[in-house]
């Protein structure tokens, strides 16, 4: 199917109750670095609507939804999200709906885009109490020092949180991931119910993702990993000392969902560490939150236009 430039195209319209079990999608052409097509993964926005709702339950840049942030293509081999060569995007999140489902892609790219896709679903009755799938993308560029980046908030109702993807450019070579991931659950205000020990710890890593050798003299000693529920999948460095690094990581709470009955807010600090100690920093941080909840859901924040989505 061709996605005309500047238009929104419906790629699925289902009128019966059922559950989407698998989505596969690829793009006809993804151009290389420093070409007009460089940011195509941020130029396309995917939205999903359940039961004829007016506001989407899923809204994110296409690449970020499949854990490919920064407009960069890379592999991920997790349980719910898989991206394999070349640009084969897969989602195994179960997406139930009691009346119907609609999936749209908005093309903010300067040119038409060709996509190929398969959406596998079963038709069956769905209970009114069934929690529905939701995903929301946010970006703050730059973040404000001493103020945590909000991964998601205003999640209101009864449900469970199942995953986080973070795309995080660091502005220098200092270690950037000392901040804590925090979950404010069911009325938490000053203190969260869950408070982590560091950003790399949250995604299952440790010690700045070192590979066992000090990388104070070289930037080539950082290990990546992609497991069913945890991953650090992108350390991309600029060509010169002092260039920013583009980082991508995920944590899927499939075996350990974070349950809430009233409301949920998720945040992460931006704290760096270097020879002069720890300090709050300002970065360009974006992320996708994945969760299930009973409808209705709170209206999402206004989705950023293309100029505020593309990396800088």
Please indicate whether residue 204 or residue 238 has the higher confidence score (pLDDT): 204
pTM for the whole structure: 0.94
Q: Which residues contact 240 (CB under 8 A, 6 or more apart)?
A: none
Please indicate whether residue 282 or residue 92 has the higher confidence score (pLDDT): 92
Q: Which residues contact 241 (CB under 8 A, 6 or more apart)?
A: 173
Q: Strand pairing of 159-170 and 149-156? A: unpaired
What DSSP character marks residue 225?
E
Q: In what order do the strands lie in the sheet with 263-268?
A: 149-156, 263-268, 181-185, 194-195
Q: What pLDDT was estimated at residue 279?
A: 85
Q: Which residues contact 128 (CB under 8 A, 6 or more apart)?
A: 98
Q: Is residue 67 a contact partner of residue 154, using CB atoms and an 8 Å limit?
A: no
Q: Can you tell me the distance from the alpha carbon of 304 to that of 141, in angstroms, rounded to the nearest whole number? A: 12
Q: What pLDDT was estimated at residue 212?
A: 61
Find the range with the poorest average confidence among 180-194, 198-212, 291-305.
Answer: 198-212
Q: Is residue 136 a contact partner of residue 291, using CB atoms and an 8 Å limit?
A: no
Give me the residue spans of the domains in the chain. 1-130, 132-299
Encode pLDDT of 117-150 as tens digits. Answer: 999 999 999 998 999 999 999 999 999 989 999 9
Q: Is residue 151 a contact partner of residue 267, using CB atoms and an 8 Å limit?
A: yes
As a three-state string, the secondary structure of 71-86 is: CCCCCEECCCEEEECC
Encode pLDDT of 16-54 as tens digits. Answer: 999 999 999 999 866 544 443 568 999 999 999 999 999
Give CA separation, 42 vs 6, 77, 108, 147, 309, in Å. Answer: 14, 21, 9, 26, 6
CATH architecture of 132-299: Sandwich (2.60)
Question: Is residue 186 very low, low, confident or very high in pLDDT (cuts 50, 70, 90)?
Answer: very high
What's the whole-number average pLDDT of the chain? 90
Could you tell me which of 68, 178, 49, 148 has the C-alpha nearest to residue 106?
49
Find the range with the poorest average confidence among 4-8, 213-217, 288-292, 300-304.
Answer: 213-217
- Which superfamily, per CATH, for 1-130? Protein of unknown function DUF2961 (2.60.120.1390)
**Residue 103 three-state SS:** strand
């Amino acid at each position: 199917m061709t996605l005309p430039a500047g238009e929104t195209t419906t790629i699925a319209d289902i009128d019966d109750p059922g559950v989407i079990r698998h989505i596969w999608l690829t793009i006809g052409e993804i151009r290389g670095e420093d070409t007009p097509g460089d940011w195509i993964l941020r130029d396309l926005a995917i939205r999903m609507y359940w039961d004829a709702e007016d506001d989407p339950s899923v809204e994110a840049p296409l690449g970020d939804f499949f854990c490919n942030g920064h407009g960069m293509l890379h592999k991920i081999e997790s349980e719910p999200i898989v991206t394999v060569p070349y640009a084969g995007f897969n989602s195994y999140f179960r997406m139930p709906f009691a009346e119907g489902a609609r999936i749209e892609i908005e093309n903010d790219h300067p040119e038409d885009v060709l996509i190929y896709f398969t959406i596998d679903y079963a038709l069956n009755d769905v209970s009114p109490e069934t929690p529905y799938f939701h995903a929301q993308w946010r970006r703050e560029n730059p973040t404000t020092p001493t103020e945590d980046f909000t991964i998601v908030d205003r999640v209101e109702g009864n449900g469970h949180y199942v995953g986080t993807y973070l795309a995080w450019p660091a502005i220098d070579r200092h270690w950037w991931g000392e901040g804590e991931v925090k979950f404010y659950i069911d009325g938490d205000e000053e203190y969260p119910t869950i408070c982590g020990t560091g950003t790399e710890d949250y995604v299952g890593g440790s010690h700045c993702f070192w590979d066992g050798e000090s990388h104070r003299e070289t930037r080539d000693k950082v290990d990546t990993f992609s497991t069913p529920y945890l991953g650090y999948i992108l350390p991309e460095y600029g060509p010169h000392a002092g260039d920013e690094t583009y980082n991508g990581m995920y944590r899927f709470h499939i075996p350990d969902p974070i349950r809430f009955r009233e409301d949920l807010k998720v945040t992460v600090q931006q704290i760096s560490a270097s020879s002069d100690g720890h300090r709050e920093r300002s970065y360009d941080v974006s992320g996708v939150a994945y969760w299930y909840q009973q409808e209705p859901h709170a209206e999402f924040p206004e989705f950023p236009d293309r100029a505020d989505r593309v990396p800088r």
